[in-house]
């Protein structure tokens, strides 16, 4: 505990926990434009306090002042430059004041606030303030001094006065207060005196606090509020009603990405409205969010951020579940094992998964946005989900060798495209699709036309390795899979390469030779010249006439033997460097060789030069 007693008098002086001091420094000097949020934060604290006392009055006979109206009163005192917010809620003991107001509950909150105030677009993100429990402190953006006068709801409790100027310390002393609850007095800074105007306060309430479930008064005049929307029939609600409610209870400026309104009477009665936000604050703050769904019973808040209503991995889903079947006095411990809650959870989760499936199939744009923001949650969820693991896995999106560049596919589509005898789902990891596509391990898969999922996020490996299989097909890394190009494929490949090489020789020899063919009869020799059948006849005719004319090479066929070691090497050079000079010399020499064998000694000077070139190369090779 960080409080420190400095002086022992009737008025005790305390120092704020050092995190709070830093937080106050940030808030007091903040240039945040929407300082009016302080009011929303204070009203919301009052509502929480009223909710708590409401449950007590319904379940606990010992509550003091049971008959007291549950309400929030705001009053403006222009002469004294004061705005006062008062509630008849649960109140605070002295310990509560020290514990709750003097410290920050969330350890990551300060980091979070620092980050959002440092970043250039901090104003928007600052809107997340309320979600991280710095609510009360935001009043120091408008007030130079704050007093809290509070009295706990239990009979015989003392009242306390808490005071601070937003510097490093605060004081607490005993005081008098007629009724239970909390009164917060803000002495406004000069630059915040707009909040002494009742129209200004009204407009802030209209904007931020429309759904407050208790009567709200400004200078004794009731401000009209709206009913909790989850109990209203879907047909009576418009998109804007859902959005407005979302903005209110999420303290959000923007609308949600999507919403889902559920009602059920059996096996358990409940109403629920759930939302997916447009952004993911975990990305900014590195703080893991609390669960996002609040539990109500007959419109009374039972537990905020109730972890039992949806799995933790779906903590980004915000909303409410209200069930008449949940007793008001249910404790946190009982909630965990409560049968009704478990039934609700199962129902809600299934509906949420159905909704995502629908979006994925039918409203792709929306689903892609949700995926962009919350893919880590889905990936985190898959190994942690038992009952609906397959349904959740089907929501994962992947790049793949099948889909066009940077377009997603999913496991069902993959399985649908699998070859008949394929039993595994292949994946390969890399930083991005481009670098994955250059991986040698992919070659064999490409040749066999086997689809491979491209994983570009380490977490996906973890997810798939833990999932192990989808619809009975095991996941296998393409880099460890024992996939070979089989003999038949290899032969095909070699024939193709030999044909390419033959084409190359043709361009080198041009008209000097009639045709080039892959030999089917040569075993050891690299090549040979054969007559085309026409020529054979011709030659025979000439011979019979006693003609001794030289054979015409340009009409002959050169057969090459791709199995021969020299030809093999030449094919390989051709594959890697088709414009190689050495290859060209070798090709010419090969033809020279054959011509010599025919006994023709026409171009002898060139033959000698080429031979010497190759001899030189052989001589210089180390």
Provide the binding-site residues for ligand ADP, judged by CB under 6 A: 41, 45-46, 49, 87, 89-92, 100-101, 133, 135-137, 182
Output 135 or 514, the one with its CB closest to ligand ADP: 135
* Ramachandran category for residue 352: left, alpha or beta (phi over 0 → left; psi -120 to 50 → alpha): alpha
Tokens coding 353: 């998964």
Using the minimum distance from each CB to ligand ADP, give the nearer residue, 136 or 217: 136
CA distance 445 to 64: 75
Closest CB to ligand ADP among residues 138, 561: 138
Nearer to ligand ADP, 49 or 63 (CB): 49
Q: How far is the CB of 308 from ligand ADP (least distance, A)?
A: 20
Q: Minimum distance between the CB of residue 10 and ligand ADP, rounded to whole angstroms?
A: 23
Closest CB to ligand ADP among residues 158, 565: 158
What is the closest distance, in whole angstroms, from the C-beta atom of residue 135 to ligand ADP in the complex?
3
Q: With respect to ligand ADP, which residue has the nearer C-beta, 182 or 564?
A: 182
Say if residues 26 and 119 touch (Cβ distance below 8 Å): no
Type and span of the H or E element at 172: strand 169-175
Q: How far is the CB of 95 from ligand ADP (least distance, A)?
A: 11
Which two tokens mark 361?
Answer: 């199939």
If the CB atoms of residues 12 and 87 are measured against ligand ADP, the closer one turns out to be 87
d(CA 345, CA 241): 25
To ligand ADP, the closest distance from the beta carbon of 136 in angstroms equals: 3
Which residue in 48, 136, 153, 46 sits closest to 90, CA to CA? Answer: 153
Shortest distance, position 183 Cβ to ligand ADP, whole Å: 9
The least CB distance from residue 345 to ligand ADP, in Å, is 25
Q: 130-141 as b/e, with b when 16 or more CB fall inside 10 Å? A: bbbebbbbbbbb
Comparison of 101 and 583: residue with beta carbon closer to ligand ADP: 101
Rounded-to-integer distance, Cα 79 and Cα 96, Å: 32
- Shortest Å, Cβ 477 to ligand ADP: 45
Closest chain position to ligand ADP (CB):
135
Q: Using CA atoms, how far apart are residues 505 and 497, in angstroms rounded to an integer?
A: 12
Q: How far apart are CA 26 and CA 126, in angstroms?
A: 12
- Which of 38, 509 has the CB closer to ligand ADP? 38
73 contacts 86 by C-beta, under 8 angstroms: yes
Minimum CB distance to ligand ADP, residue 252 (Å): 16
Residue 97 CA to residue 174 CA, distance in Å, equals: 12
Instruction: Return the exposure string of 49-86: e unless at least 16 CB atoms fall within 10 Å of the residue's CB, then b.
Output: bbbbbbbbbeeeeebbbeebebbbbbbbeeeebbbbbb
- Ordered alpha helix ranges (H), 280-432: 281-285, 332-337, 339-362, 364-384, 389-393, 411-417
To the nearest whole angstrom, how small is the minimum distance from the Cβ of residue 87 to ligand ADP? 5
Q: Which is nearer to ligand ADP, 49 or 306 (CB)?
A: 49
Q: How far is the CB of 97 from ligand ADP (least distance, A)?
A: 8
We find the least distance from the C-beta atom of residue 20 to ligand ADP, in angstroms, to be: 9
CA distances from 418 to 396, 412, 426, 545 (A): 18, 10, 10, 68
Nearer to ligand ADP, 271 or 303 (CB): 303
The CA distances from residue 233 to 11, 157, 238, in Å, are 54, 43, 11
- Which two tokens mark 299? 């419109």
Long-range CB contacts (within 8 A, 24+) of 303-307: 303/332, 303/335, 304/48, 306/335
Residue 180 sits at the vertex; the CA angle it makes with 174 and 184, to the nearest 5 degrees, is 70
**Choice between 87 and 385, CB closer to ligand ADP:** 87
Q: Which two tokens stand for residue 245?
A: 């409610």
Cα separation, 232 vs 383, in Å, equals 37
């Amino acid at each position: 505990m960080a409080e420190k007693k400095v002086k022992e008098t009737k008025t005790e002086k305390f120092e704020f926990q050092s995190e709070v001091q830093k937080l106050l420094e940030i808030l007091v000097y903040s240039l945040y434009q929407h300082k009016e949020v302080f009011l929303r934060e204070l009203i919301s604290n009052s509502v929480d306090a009223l909710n708590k006392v409401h449950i007590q009055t319904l379940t606990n006979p010992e509550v003091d002042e049971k008959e007291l109206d549950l309400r929030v009163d705001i009053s403006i005192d222009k002469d004294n430059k004061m705005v006062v917010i008062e509630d008849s809620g649960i109140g605070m003991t002295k310990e509560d004041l020290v514990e709750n107001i003097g410290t920050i509950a969330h350890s990551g909150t300060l980091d979070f606030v620092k980050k959002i105030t440092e970043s250039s677009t901090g104003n928007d993100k600052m809107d997340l303030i309320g979600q991280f429990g710095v609510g009360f402190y935001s009043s120091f953006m408008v007030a130079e001094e704050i007093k809290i006068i509070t009295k706990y709801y239990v009979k015989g409790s003392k009242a306390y006065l808490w005071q601070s100027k937003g510097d490093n310390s605060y004081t607490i002393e005993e005081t008098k207060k007629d009724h239970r609850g909390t009164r917060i007095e803000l002495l406004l800074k000069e630059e915040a005196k707009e909040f002494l105007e009742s129209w200004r306060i009204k407009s802030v309430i209209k904007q931020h606090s429309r759904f407050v479930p208790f009567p709200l008064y400004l200078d004794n005049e009731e401000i009209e509020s709206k009913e909790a929307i989850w109990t209203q029939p879907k047909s009576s609600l418009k998109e804007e009603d859902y959005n407005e409610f979302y903005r209110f209870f999420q303290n959000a400026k923007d609308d949600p990405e999507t919403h889902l309104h559920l009602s059920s009477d059996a096996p358990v009665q409940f109403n629920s409205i759930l939302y997916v936000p447009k952004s993911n604050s975990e990305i900014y703050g590195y703080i893991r969010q609390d669960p996002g769904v609040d539990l109500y019973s007959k419109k009374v808040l039972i537990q905020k951020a109730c972890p039992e209503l949806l799995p933790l991995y779906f903590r980004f889903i915000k909303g409410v579940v209200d069930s008449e079947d949940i007793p008001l006095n249910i404790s946190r411990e009982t909630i965990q094992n409560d049968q009704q809650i478990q039934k609700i959870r199962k129902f809600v989760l299934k509906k949420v998964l159905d909704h995502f499936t629908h979006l994925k199939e039918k409203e792709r744009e929306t689903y892609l946005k949700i995926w962009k923001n919350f893919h880590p949650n889905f990936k985190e969820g898959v190994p942690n989900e038992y009952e609906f693991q397959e349904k959740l896995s089907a929501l994962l999106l992947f790049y793949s060798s099948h889909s066009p560049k940077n377009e997603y596919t999913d496991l069902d589509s993959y399985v649908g495209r699998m070859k008949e005898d394929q039993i595994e789902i292949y994946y390969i990891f890399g930083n991005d699709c481009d670098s994955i596509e250059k991986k040698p391990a992919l070659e064999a898969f490409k040749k066999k036309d086997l689809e491979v999922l491209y994983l570009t996020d380490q977490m996906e490996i973890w997810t798939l390795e833990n999932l192990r299989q989808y619809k009975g097909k095991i996941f296998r890394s393409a880099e460890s899979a024992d996939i070979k190009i089989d003999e038949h494929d290899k032969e095909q490949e070699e024939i193709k390469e030999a044909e390419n090489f033959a084409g190359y020789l043709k361009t080198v020899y041009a008209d000097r030779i009639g045709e080039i063919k892959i030999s089917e009869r040569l075993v050891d020799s690299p090549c040979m010249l054969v007559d085309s059948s026409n020529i054979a006849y011709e030659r025979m005719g000439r011979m019979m006439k006693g003609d001794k004319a030289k054979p015409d090479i340009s009409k002959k066929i050169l057969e090459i033997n791709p199995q021969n070691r020299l030809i093999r090497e030449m094919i390989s050079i051709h594959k890697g460097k088709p414009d190689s000079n050495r290859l060209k010399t070798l090709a010419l020499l090969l033809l020279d060789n054959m011509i010599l064998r025919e006994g023709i000694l026409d171009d002898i000077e060139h033959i000698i030069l080429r031979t010497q070139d190759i001899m030189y190369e052989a001589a210089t090779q180390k």
